[in-house]
């Protein structure tokens, strides 16, 4: 998994690529924890995410909980296969996906 960060007028854009699984999700979680204070809103670019397991879903859920008290969080460029995982787990109802 690789993470690229870019801040634009208080909105933090994080582009994630590769696999978000048990072994890589902690790195994403740490990256997000370090960023919460310095950003108002969060955009996660899922264009190059190939795989996400429940470890990754847990990170998204905690990020959503933090960001819903701030300027919000949204996911962009989610592939069809990843979208199906969000549907099965009910995440399509709690995440903002564009």
> Judging by DSSP bridges, how do beta strands 11-20 and 2-8 pair with one another?
antiparallel
Q: How far is the CB of 58 from another protein (least distance, A)?
A: 5
Nearer to another protein, 36 or 51 (CB): 51
| C-beta closer to another protein: residue 8 or 22 | 22
Contacting residues toward another protein, per CB under 8 A = 21-23, 50-51, 53-55, 57-58, 61-62, 64-65, 68, 81, 84-85, 88-90, 93-94
Distance CA 1, CA 48 (A): 10
Look at residues 11, 27, 9, 10 and name the one whose alpha carbon lies nearest to residue 19.
27
């Amino acid at each position: 998994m690789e993470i690229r960060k870019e801040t634009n007028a208080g909105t933090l854009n994080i582009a994630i690529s590769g696999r978000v699984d048990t072994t890589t999700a902690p790195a994403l979680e740490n990256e997000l924890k370090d960023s919460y204070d310095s950003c108002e809103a969060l955009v996660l670019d899922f264009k190059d995410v190939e795989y996400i397991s429940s470890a990754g879903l847990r990170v998204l859920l905690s990020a959503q909980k933090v960001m819903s008290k701030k300027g919000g969080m949204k996911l962009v460029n989610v592939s069809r296969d990843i979208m199906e995982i969000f549907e099965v787990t009910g995440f399509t109802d709690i995440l903002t996906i564009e």
